[in-house]
């Protein structure tokens, strides 16, 4: 059962129990957001730098909070809690990738800061060529629409479905349920303040939302531990197996193997969702480094810093905040499991372990705890935290899409466009993304296995981007031809695997993906492709992209090192190095070490 199904289970966990105090807390939350948006708009200037990068004067704490808020969505929270209730701390592997933000802070920030780019494709153009900029821009836009926006829409509908399951609007013979109402409201509200205020509105609202999100989730964790009897009782009930980060994340009977092809275990659209240790060791870091260091959706906040120092400090602060999900989202899932297993909360025990309990009822852990543990008023704060997570993620993707389209495509087509014209186009692009999101709702609502499939999308599309950015910065000899062909070949492989995985492709071969048929004929080429674990296929794309980039670069002339001065370690001048060295001090080093100590400490503590 994938994370979208987790959310569906959560929505069906019970009717709305929100009281007047809860609604008051939610109303106050939205009033604060509205006030922040109004304040931001009153300070805004009609320039591209102000609209897309907040005038490059964001503070370090705003940058860090905004990066964290963009990463954490409602489906993230509910899915992690559900995973905690079912599998323990296993999924903490992904959350402990906070070290990737330190790579952004110490490795990439100097290059981004001195290049003064608006977008990641623009940086790729500076390092390689204009064609690579167009390729990355188009792929990024399509990825945002298909993945981040789709999941955000679904999460919005489910959150409202949980709050108001009986809400319906009837227009003649047409009835609109709470899923549609919630999806439309969240998209329109988020799109409105993003369109009007741009990056500054997104960043400052994210800062407010992070406070609500952390406070709300912390309250849930504290109330759960109090009712359970403390941390020691949690460890006793859950046992060492659920507190083990080191156990192989592979199916029973396949311990000690890395076999990439096996009989498929189909879940919705998506095959082979297990996480083998080799995939976690190689594929997961590749995806993490792509996401945290090169994705416009995340890096745009660091680009809004006035200088290297602030960008680095903001990235380090985001790395620190990224440690919270393990304890605020996964641990509540374990608490929910322990309360049900011990019988200390009869309501949870009846839903999760009772005679009529659904097989995957544990995946509704987060909303179940909100419903059965928190008192009126506090429940509203946690619900506001869910809405915060949802709106922060959607606002980030709307802003990233408008920036990519305006700066990388529109401005290239109209190089003489005025600053006001660019801002208008940015607002129009945001509005178009909102419309696309609204049109996408029927697709999202009807897709049974969407999120499990979308997890694989990153594994298929991230490798070539990771390769060209990391190889490009560390290896000055690699040129534009190598970059372009690495991306083309890598994306072809990724899209090919995505097509093979989809029911549409199965239908072309006369295979009923929704029925009992397992898929392609056993042993056929497409069967092998479809049944290679997605992480192993991602590793394959990474290796092929790297080989293509190196071979093509060395078969063609070397790049003009003068043109790429300061954009690679090999072409950085003494002045560049001195400027970067002067931009940090012992404080940033100490805080980075603290983050790494927490990560290592988590692996040591959660060893079963």
CATH number, residue 176: 1.20.1730.10
Q: Domain containing 182: what range? A: 3-248+277-448+573-605
Say if 133 falls within a structural domain. Answer: yes
SS3 188: helix
Number of domains forming the structure of the chain: 1
Tell me the DSSP string of 52-76. Answer: HHGGG---HHHHHHHHHHHH--HHH
User: Binning pLDDT at 50, 70 and 90, where does residue 256 land?
Assistant: very low
Query: Is 353 within a domain?
Result: yes
How far CA 246 is from CA of 55, 281, 285, 493, in Å, comes to 45, 12, 16, 31
Q: How far apart are CA 475 and CA 399, in angstroms?
A: 32
Residue 257 lies in a domain: no
What are the tens digits of pLDDT across the range 175-195? Answer: 676 667 766 777 777 777 777
Q: How confident is the model at residue 275 (pLDDT cuts 50, 70, 90)?
A: low
- pTM of the prediction? 0.83
Is residue 334 domain-resident?
A: yes
* pLDDT confidence of residue 268: 34
Contact between residue 196 and residue 427 where contact means Cβ atoms under 8 Å apart:
yes
Which range, 173-177, 381-385, 483-487, 522-526, is most confident? 483-487
Does residue 40 lie within any of the structural domains? yes
Question: Quick check: is 493 in a domain?
Answer: no
Residue 510 lies in a domain: no
Digit-coded pLDDT (tens) for 524-576: 788 788 778 888 899 999 999 999 999 999 999 999 999 999 899 999 889 98
Phi, psi (degrees; rounded to nearest 5) at 174? -100, 125
Residues 6+ apart with CB under 8 A from 592: 102, 105, 106, 316, 319
- Tell me what pLDDT residue 448 has: 44
b/e per residue, 314-324, with b = 16+ CB within 10 A? bbbbbbbbbbb
CB 419 within 8 A of CB 48: yes
pLDDT of residue 53: 67
Beta bridge partners of 261: 532
The pLDDT assigned to 531 comes to 77
Cα–Cα distance measured from residue 75 to residue 158, given in angstroms and rounded to the nearest whole number: 9
Q: Kindly tell me the burial class for residue 249, based on how many C-beta atoms sit within 10 Å of its own C-beta (0-12, 13-18, 19 or more).
A: middle
Residue 320 falls inside a structural domain: yes
Q: What's the mean pLDDT when you consider all of the chain?
A: 79
């Amino acid at each position: 059962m994938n994370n979208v199904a987790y959310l569906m289970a959560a929505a069906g966990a019970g009717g709305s129990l929100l009281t007047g105090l809860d609604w008051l807390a939610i109303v106050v939350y939205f009033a604060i957001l509205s006030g922040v948006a109004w304040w931001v708009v009153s300070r805004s200037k009609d320039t591209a730098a102000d609209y897309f990068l907040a005038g490059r004067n964001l503070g370090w704490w705003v940058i860090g909070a905004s990066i964290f808020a963009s990463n954490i969505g409602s489906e993230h929270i509910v899915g992690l809690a559900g995973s905690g209730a079912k599998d323990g701390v296993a999924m903490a592997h992904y959350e402990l990738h906070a070290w990737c933000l330190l790579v952004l802070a110490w490795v990439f920030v100097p290059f981004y800061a001195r290049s003064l780019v608006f977008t990641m494709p623009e940086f790729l153009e500076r390092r390689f060529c204009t064609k690579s900029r167009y390729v990355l821009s188009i792929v990024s836009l399509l990825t945002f629409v298909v993945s981040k926006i789709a999941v955000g829409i679904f999460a919005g509908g489910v959150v409202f479905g949980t709050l108001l399951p009986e809400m319906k609007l009837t227009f003649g013979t047409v009835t609109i349920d709470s899923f549609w109402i919630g999806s439309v409201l969240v998209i329109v509200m988020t799109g409105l303040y993003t369109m009007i205020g741009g990056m500054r509105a997104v960043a400052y609202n994210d800062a407010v939302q992070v406070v609500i999100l952390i406070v709300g989730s912390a309250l849930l964790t504290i109330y759960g531990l109090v009712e359970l009897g403390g941390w020691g009782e949690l460890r006793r009930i859950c046992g060492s197996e659920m507190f083990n980060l080191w156990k192989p994340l592979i199916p029973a009977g396949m311990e000690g193997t890395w076999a990439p092809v096996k009989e498929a275990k189909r879940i919705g659209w998506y095959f082979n969702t297990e996480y083998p240790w080799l995939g976690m060791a190689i594929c997961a870091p590749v995806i993490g480094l792509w996401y945290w260091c090169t994705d416009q959706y995340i890096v745009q906040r660091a680009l809004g810093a006035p200088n290297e120092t602030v960008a680095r400090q903001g990235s380090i602060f985001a790395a620190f905040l990224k440690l919270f999900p393990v304890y605020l989202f996964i641990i509540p899932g374990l608490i929910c499991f322990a309360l049900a297993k011990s019988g200390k909360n009869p309501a949870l025990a009846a839903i999760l372990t009772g005679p009529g309990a659904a097989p995957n009822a544990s995946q509704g852990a987060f909303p179940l705890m909100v419903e059965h543990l928190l008192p009126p008023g506090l429940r509203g704060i946690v619900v506001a935290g869910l809405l915060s997570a949802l709106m922060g993620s959607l606002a980030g993707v709307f802003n990233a899409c408008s920036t990519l389209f305006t700066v990388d495509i529109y401005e290239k087509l109209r190089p003489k466009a005025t600053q006001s014209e660019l801002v208008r186009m940015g607002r129009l692009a945001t509005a178009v993304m909102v419309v696309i999101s609204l049109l996408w709702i029927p697709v999202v609502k009807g897709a049974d296995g969407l999120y499990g499939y979308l997890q694989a999308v990153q594994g298929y599309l991230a490798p070539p981007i990771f390769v060209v950015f990391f190889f490009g910065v560390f290896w000055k000899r690699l040129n534009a031809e190598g970059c372009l062909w690495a991306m083309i070949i890598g994306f072809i492989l990724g899209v090919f695997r995505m097509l093979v995985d989809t029911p549409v492709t199965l239908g072309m071969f006369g295979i009923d993906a929704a029925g009992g048929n397992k898929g392609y004929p056993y042993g056929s080429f497409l069967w092998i492709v479809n049944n290679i674990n997605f992480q192993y296929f991602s590793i394959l794309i990474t290796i092929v992209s790297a080989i293509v980039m190196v071979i093509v670069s060395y078969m063609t002339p070397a790049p003009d090192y003068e043109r790429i001065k300061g954009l690679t370690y090999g072409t950085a001048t003494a002045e560049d190095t001195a400027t970067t060295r002067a931009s940090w001090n012992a404080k940033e080093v100490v805080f980075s070490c603290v983050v790494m100590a927490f990560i290592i400490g988590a692996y040591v503590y959660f060893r079963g």
